[in-house]
Amino acid sequence: MKNTFGNSVAITLFGESHGKVIGAVLDGIAPGIRIEEKRVEEALEKRRPKGSISTSRSEKDRFEIVSGIFNGYTTGTPICVVIKNEDVDDSVYEEMDGRVRPSHADYTAHIKYNGFEDYRGGGHFSGRLTAALVAAGAIAQAELDAVNIKIGTHIKKCAGVSDRSFENIEDDVDVLSSLDFPALDKDAEEKMKKQIERASKDMDSVGGITETAVLNVPCGIGEPFFDSVESAISHAMFSIPAVKGVEFGSGFAISDMLGSQANDEFRYSDGNVVTKTNNNGGINGGITNGMPVTFSCAIKPTPSIGKTQNTIDIKKQEDCQLSIKGRHDPCIVHRACHVINALAAITVCDLLAQKYGTNFPNILNSGDNT
């Protein structure tokens, strides 16, 4: 089982949903980056469940950074973050006793690990582990701050309700950094929340689409063919349990355009090279072109629902029915936005380090970025 992502900057994930702890090891972050624990706390708080639109499992996400940071600064050695699991209830999973949950990893994990998997709460496949990703992402974002790279994700669509698109993208990204429920249009936010609550009352769930912008990434980043910017970001995003699709720029819609419409024409602006449009999401040939890197993720509805579903009992080897009990999110789209930001930060750090080395903040700030 491969639990490590990245080349020059890499993250290793460990733990299970109902185990004692979850955590991550982040390796390759440059020395001398100022890390405030409050920053990690704030990132984890944004990801935590909120009210009736989220699970009732209430983890405080108490974390400890046990290596790699000394006197508030990164040392250049691996950074290990550990988060305690405190609000755990195994009883529901004991009751299910062999009945696998549709669209979960229960069946596939059982086959892969010969029945030795930790099935409680999805075990290692649980969205609970994304808390560790968010903690590590907050540290990676601190490194990106040193070179003025910003990342923001909003809910593009949820339960059939659409948010407005990015307009003044820099201002929008700044606004998103302070939002728990990251929608740019307040009317859309209220409609989304009502739809989520409606699904919850019906013992069902909803999904949606997110849209992310990464600002101020220098031109020339990416390692084609197999570590292109699209390849690396897609690899990272598909590690999030609920992501079922990723597209860049105009995405699949670009297939309906003429070449004259899809092409992003170049021009100079104040001595800088820019494009008139950004249909390709700031990427040409798998390499950043200096425009905002934009991509969207399709998030499936939470598979844990209270409605009765047909499934199988792998112990009795017979068909059966299952109504899932316990504490589950009727929608995870709003929480997933913060996980996407974290993984995008780690991925961009890795791409920059592949080109400039793991001490890239000093290199880029010195102006020697050839």
Which pLDDT belongs to residue 95?
74
Which pLDDT belongs to residue 168?
96
**Alpha helices in the chain, H assignment, sequence order:** 37-47, 91-96, 106-112, 130-145, 169-176, 186-201, 229-237, 259-262, 333-356, 360-366
Topology of 4-366 in CATH?
Chorismate synthase, AroC fold (3.60.150)
State the Cα–Cα distance between residues 312 and 249, nearest whole angstrom.
Answer: 41
State the Cα–Cα distance between residues 307 and 304, nearest whole angstrom.
Answer: 9
Model-level pTM?
0.95
Whether the per-residue pLDDT at 352 is higher than 70: the answer is: yes
User: 327 and 268 in contact (C-beta within 8 Å)?
Assistant: no
Give residue-wise pLDDT tens across range 254-282. Answer: 999 999 999 999 999 999 999 999 999 99
Average pLDDT for 114-137 = 93
Average pLDDT for 173-183 = 97
State the Cα–Cα distance between residues 49 and 72, nearest whole angstrom.
Answer: 29
